[in-house]
Chain A
Amino acid sequence: GENVGLHLPTLSVQEGDNSIINCAYSNSASDYFIWYKQESGKGPQFIIDIRSNMDKRQGQRVTVLLNKTVKHLSLQIAATQPGDSAVYFCAESSRRSIRQLTFGSGTQLTVLP
């Protein structure tokens, strides 16, 4: 499948600050995007998703922004907490491959006290 990659492999933020994690994708047919959080030694957990007919979606302390023009996805975490420290993956799928998600390499978020 086509590559879904992340701009930065690591990100360190101070507790209480906002975090922004970026993701670029190359498959122009991608129409569904998910952010996952993976804590050490565990499976990924769903955070938030967005479909291509939207450009913004908000959850609890998280916001996902989608810019289809430049094929860019971002995850914003408000008031970052120590428990937010984890690896964050973006994943995409398209109607051409409805049964599989393509994952990026991940960004390690570290929250500093």
Chain B
Amino acid sequence: QKEVEQNSGPLSVPEGAIASLNCTYSDRGSQSFFWYRQYSGKSPELIMFIYSNGDKEDGRFTAQLNKASQYVSLLIRDSQPSDSATYLCAVKRRGSTLGRLYFGRGTQLTVWP
């Protein structure tokens, strides 16, 4: 079982819809959870991080964490074509140094006008 699993997609949603991206992780003691956005040919860019169970909202983005289910998700409301990118889920495991993250393969999102 991989450390971090994501549905590779592609996920395709119409403009204005809610895009839901999901991620599961294997280490129950994982502490920090990150969502990075990566446009084609570009570097990953951090868009959200979450540490505690529940929801965390930032603009059109909401991260949701359920540690009991070892599940983290990212919701993008009012999706825009500019949101089309690959979204990477990353996890910091218990005991690992800051910045040493375990990444999923990414979910490719396409928002069509």
Do A and B belong to a common assembly? no
Question: A: which residues have CB within 8 A of B?
Answer: none
